[in-house]
Amino acid sequence: MSIEIRFRIDRSDFVLDVDVEIPATGITAVFGPSGCGKTTLLRAIAGLEPCGDGFLRVGEMRWQEGAHFMPPHKRPVGYVFQEASLFAHLNVRKNLEYGVKRVPVSQRKVSMERAIELLGIGPLLEHRADQLSGGERQRVAIARALAVSPGILLMDEPLAALDQARKQEILPYLESLHDELDIPVIYVSHSPDEVARLADHLVLLEAGRIRASGPIGEMLTRLDLPLAYGNDAEALIEAEVAGHDDEYDLTLLDFPGGRFTVTRHDLPVGHAVRVRVTARDVSLTLEHQSGTSILNIFPATIEEISPAGNAQMMVKLICGDVPMLARVTRKSASVLDLKPGKLVYAQAKSVALLS
Amino acid sequence: MLNDADLAALAITLKLASVTTLILLLLGTPFAWWMARTRWRYKFMLEAVIALPLVLPPTVLGFYLLVALGPEGPVGGLMELLGGEPLAFTFTGLVIGSVLYSMPFVVQPLQGAFASIGRRPLEVAATLRASPLDRFFTVAVPLARSGFLTAAVLGFAHTVGEFGVVLMIGGNIPGQTQVLSIAIYDHVEMLEYGHAHWLSGGLLLASFIMLMSVYALNRRFSLVRP
């Protein structure tokens, strides 16, 4: 199952020209700077943006092809706008019911009760929209979009209008959607942090065009993309809880390249987690170090090296079959004679658990 | 106090204002909706035409209507051809004149209210499976309710208060086309100040109450919205 998108939208000041196929599962982040066309792309998928020349296939259904244009109200989407955009003339319950009532009973897969429970908005049902905080409004908007049992959920920077505290309030709900519902999501964002926590797949948009598209772990470590050269360049690694060290209060996480040791997280054995390893926290040695305080040391093969500024090099490593990044000085690269194919040990000074 | 002719004038005035307001709401709503959403480049010309009664002397509009609706005019002539009466000096003629004359007072608040909703709530409704007509009745109309209230009260009150157009095309036939404002004029002409006082005071009070209720219910009320 996949989603095939081909749009060309010409505006006087802007052209969106995309041709991309993304998986119809998990969360696909559309990432790029402001003004690159992310929102226009999402609106075109929902049918809200007039787009004469386009092709859109979602799974088996063709939403747009040549002269055929399925109007927005016939497309099985859920749409969360950047501002919650609740109906001001309806209370929270009626906002939710607005969509539910219009979905035939046979097509209701996500019950309204389930949406209310997932977003924790039970106590707010009888409130008016203007009585809610920004975070609450956005949770209601997400529940409203879910309650129509969408075949695909489109989210346009749902956290961008919120302050840091409200973002932290909502992110866990978004993560639980990912875990509990089998609805593909296209998530527009310019926040690397949200993308790292939520996305499975990444579409990189630049000036109205697709720069690259692929699984998140692969995309973040590609040395031909700008993502690997930011100060926060990082690798995301899927791991699972292997056990806990009760004596030292540590948690052990297995991934194909070895075992991470992190401070204790109370998660059951076998629980899937996502781990972030920042490139600037990874150093390289030629031999396995013994007299070191660093716990996370993995054998790795250098796959690729590329300059990052004048003094530094970005090194792409493969641990097991997992890509990882290390940022070292050009001098170190020269002294250690780092080159593709060479076996090294990667030492990660810090490892962060994302979920 | 009020004599029979005054009561008849009151009844005709209320009937005229009610019929006019109803017609204007029915015609003005889709028109204002279209005006609020169209990107047509010559929309400003239509807006100017709609706003004309705001600045034009009522006698000018009345004069052209008289010409058009009379037996020699295009509309009146057509009516005669179809076997009907010319419309000048009839209640129907008054309704036509009032509809044109009060149009900006209904269309402008509605257009302003629709425009201030913006596209977003309608887009949200579309993504919640509402068809265009469904969106209009379940989102646009409720969100524009203050505009409807303003439009209805202003349209009604302005029709009650009209004088020049009615005088030009309705004549002053007691029991048929004589409305309150003209009845007052007649009383003053005949120096019946007592009658004029009763009618004028009543109109003043009624108008004040109507406008006050609009202002109270709709703080954002404004006559001409940008």
pLDDT tens per residue, chain A (355 residues)? 899 999 998 888 888 999 999 999 999 999 988 888 999 999 999 999 887 788 999 988 999 998 899 999 999 999 999 998 999 999 999 999 999 999 998 888 888 898 898 888 999 999 998 889 888 999 999 999 999 999 999 999 998 888 888 888 888 888 888 878 889 999 999 888 889 889 999 999 998 999 999 999 999 999 999 888 888 899 999 999 999 999 999 999 999 999 999 999 999 999 999 999 999 999 999 998 888 899 999 999 999 999 998 999 999 999 999 999 999 999 999 999 999 999 999 999 989 988 6
Nearest-neighbour CA in chain A from B120: distance (Å):
7
Q: H or E stretch including A169?
A: helix A164-180
| pLDDT for position B223 | 38
A130: DSSP letter: G
Distance from CA of B44 to the nearest CA of A (A): 23
Q: How far is CA B135 from CA A97, B40, B114, B140, in A?
A: 14, 22, 12, 7
The whole-number pLDDT of residue A210 equals 93
Out of B127, B138, B143, the one facing A88 most closely (by C-beta) is B143
Place of tokens 């009585």: A131
- In chain B, where are the structural domains located? 4-58+89-224
HEC string of chain B?
Answer: CCCHHHHHHHHHHHHHHHHHHHHHHHHHHHHHHHHHHCCCCCHHHHHHHHHHHHHCCHHHHHHHHHHHHCCCCHHHHHHHHCCCCCCCCCHHHHHHHHHHHHHHHHHHHHHHHHHHHCCHHHHHHHHCCCCHHHHHHHHHHHHCHHHHHHHHHHHHHHHHCCCHHHHHHHCCCCCCCCCHHHHHHHHHHCCCHHHHHHHHHHHHHHHHHHHHHHHHHCCCCCCCCC
Which residues numbered 25-64 in A keep a CB inside 8 Å of some CB on B? 46-48
Q: Which pLDDT value is given to residue A181? A: 82
CA distance B82 to B178: 27
Looking at the domain covering B4-58+89-224, what would its CATH class be? mainly alpha
Number of CB atoms found within 10 A of residue A331's CB = 11
Q: What is the pLDDT of residue B7?
A: 87
Q: What is the pLDDT of residue B219?
A: 64
Strands A68-69, A61-65: pairing is antiparallel
Minimum distance, in Å, between the CA of residue A92 and any CA atom of chain B: 15
A98 and chain B: CB distance < 8 Å anywhere? yes
Q: Under an 8 A CB cutoff, do A85 and B124 touch?
A: yes
Q: Given CB atoms, is B131 within the 8 Å cutoff of chain A?
A: yes
Mind listing the pLDDT tens digit of every residue in chain B (226 residues)?
678 888 888 889 999 999 999 999 999 999 999 999 998 999 999 999 999 999 999 889 889 988 888 878 888 778 777 777 777 788 888 999 999 999 999 999 999 999 999 999 999 999 999 999 999 999 999 999 889 999 999 999 999 988 888 888 887 888 888 888 888 988 999 898 998 999 999 999 988 998 888 888 776 544 333 3
Q: Enumerate the residues of chain A whose CB falls inside 8 A of the CB of residue B143.
A: 87-89
Q: Kindly state the tokens that stand for A322.
A: 């997992």
Give the span between the Cα atoms of A172 and A195, in whole angstroms. Answer: 13
What is the reported pLDDT for B169?
A: 87
The one-letter amino acid code at A278 reads T
SS (H, E, C) A255-298: ECCEEEEEECCCCCCCCEEEEEEEHHHEEEECCCCCCCCCCEEE
Cross-chain CB nearest to B142 (options A74, A77, A89): A89
ipTM score: 0.86
- pLDDT per residue over A292-327, tens digit each? 899 999 999 999 999 998 999 999 999 999 999 999
